[in-house]
Amino acid sequence: MNRKIILASASPRRQELLKYIVPEFEVIPADIDETLPADIVTEKAAEYLAVKKAAFIAKQYPEAVVIGSDTVVIIDNIILGKPADEADSARMLKLLSGRTHKVITGVCIAAGDKTDSFSCETKVKFYPLTDEEILGYIATGEPMDKAGAYGIQGYGSVLSEGIEGDFFNVMGLPVAMLKRRLNVFYSGT
């Protein structure tokens, strides 16, 4: 891997996770319109945004390998993005309370005109949450910049009864899958 690698994300969690497989990379967040097409299949939304992010930065840095990523939380075929405010956080957490939802992270690797994109899905089951638990969690400030209004790696860890799939995917980057896809990507460049 002798080409410069760029992570097209400002997420501190993704930066932390990418260090497990790529010791040196540059962070250049992609400032794109994240509006989804009205007819998009919910399970493809994260990958769609990851591709847009990677393509945007790859155009500016064609000599680099760009990694774009996006994570969505889905319940009842509804995409839960980052909450707008505390009331929106409470709404999302009540919707997730006592239920299983999907966390899907889409990833795109782009270099020049070559791209590889994929999605990783993890199922997360929440304990039933009281209003007091929800308000206490919101008071930590943690839900405000996270899809679905929670972070499984922080205070939000006490909300989750269990997961089925890749834990790091819920944090925002499926590390093991990305490592394997990067190896294949590099072997073809």
70 is catalytic: yes
Is residue 111 within 8 Å of 117, Cβ to Cβ?
A: no
Cα torsion through 4, 21, 175, 58, rounded to 10:
0
Exposure string for 141-165, b = 16+ CB within 10 A, e = fewer: ebbeebbbbbbbbebbeebbeebee
Catalytic hit among 31, 70, 88, 131: 70
Helix orientation angle between 131-139 and 86-96, rounded to the nearest 10 degrees:
130
Burial class of residue 70, CB neighbours in 10 A (0-12, 13-18, 19+): buried
Q: Which residues are catalytic?
A: 70
